[in-house]
Amino acid sequence: MIERTYRRDNKQIQLMGMIHLARPQYYTDLMAVMPQHRTLILMEGVTDNDSLLKKQFSYVRIADILGLTSQRRSHFQGRQISLKDLNSSITNDNQGIDLLPADIDLSRFDPLTIKVLNALAKNVLSAEKPLAGYMEFSRWAEQNLSSDFDETVMADLIDKRNRHLLSLLPMALKKYDNLVIPWGALHMKELERAILKQGFIQTASREHLSIDFLLLPFGQLWKQLVGGNGSAPSRTAGWRHLLPDEKTDFLMSVKIQPAELTPAR
C-alpha cells in the first residue's frame, strides 16, 4: 500500500491508502511515520445511528482465518475531538495528535446500498464458511441487482464520503499543521486530485507491506473457508477463478471500504 505526503507552505497532508486486513506490523509502521506535532488524523468509519444494519459489518472473523489483523483492532493513539470542537472558535491547544471521526452516517446511503451491505454481512462476513457464503451472495446479487447497481453503490461508498471529508479540510488546516488521512485505497485518487487542486505538491511517497501472501497458510485456509478435505488451489494458480462473475467481482473490490460499519450502541 502507498503512503504519500503533500506540502503547501507550512502545511502537510499525508494520504495513507488503507487495507482492512493486514499483518499487525503494517498499522504499527503507519503510526511510526505520522507527524507527532499539531497533527489531526481524519478517521474513516461510517456510523449507523439508526441501526440499519441487521448484522455487524466486520472483517475480524476473516482476519482471524487468514492469520491477519483487522483494522478495527488497530487503534490510532491521540486525543479524540468532535466536529463541534473542530468548528469552534477556540484555538487548538494540543501540541500532539488529535483524532476526528470524519465519515458520514449510513442513513445518508441509498436504500439499495444498505440492502447490498446487509446481504454481504449476512452471506459472507457472518458465514461459517466464508467462501461458500460468497457463492451464496453471488447468487443473491444475480437475482436482486441490476447491471448498473455499481453506480449507486460507488456514489455512496466513495463519492459521498469523499465530499464530506474534503469539506472538513479548510477548518482543519486552519487549526493544525499536519493532516493525516488513513482511508481505504479506493478513496485516494479523488482525494489526491482535490488536494493538488488546493496547491499542495507531493513531496514523498513510501510503500508499506500490508500482506505477505507467501506466508499465508493456504492449505489450512482452504479448509476453514470451504470445509472438507478438498485440495486447495496452489499459491501460483491463484483463486480468481472462484469468483463467478463481474458483478460480484466488483463488490469484492469495494467491500472492504465500509469495514468499520458498526451497529449503533
Per-residue b or e along 178-191, where b marks 16 or more CB atoms closer than 10 Å to that residue's CB:
bbbbbbbbbbbebb
pLDDT band, residue 54 (cuts 50/70/90): confident
| Nine-digit cell string for 81 | 475531538
93-142: pLDDT as tens digits: 778 999 999 999 999 999 999 999 898 888 877 767 777 777 888 888 88
pLDDT at residue 27 in the model: 73
CA distance 252 to 63: 15
213-232: pLDDT as tens digits: 555 555 555 555 555 555 54
Looking at residues 149-157, what average pLDDT do you find?
90
Q: Which of helix, strand or coil describes residue 112?
A: helix
pLDDT band, residue 194 (cuts 50/70/90): very high
pLDDT at 196 over 90: yes
Give strand pairing partners of 70.
Answer: 21
Residues 6+ apart with CB under 8 A from 162: 187, 190, 191, 194
29-44: pLDDT as tens digits: 777 788 889 999 999 9
230-247: pLDDT as tens digits: 554 444 444 333 333 444
Looking at residues 76-97, what average pLDDT do you find?
86
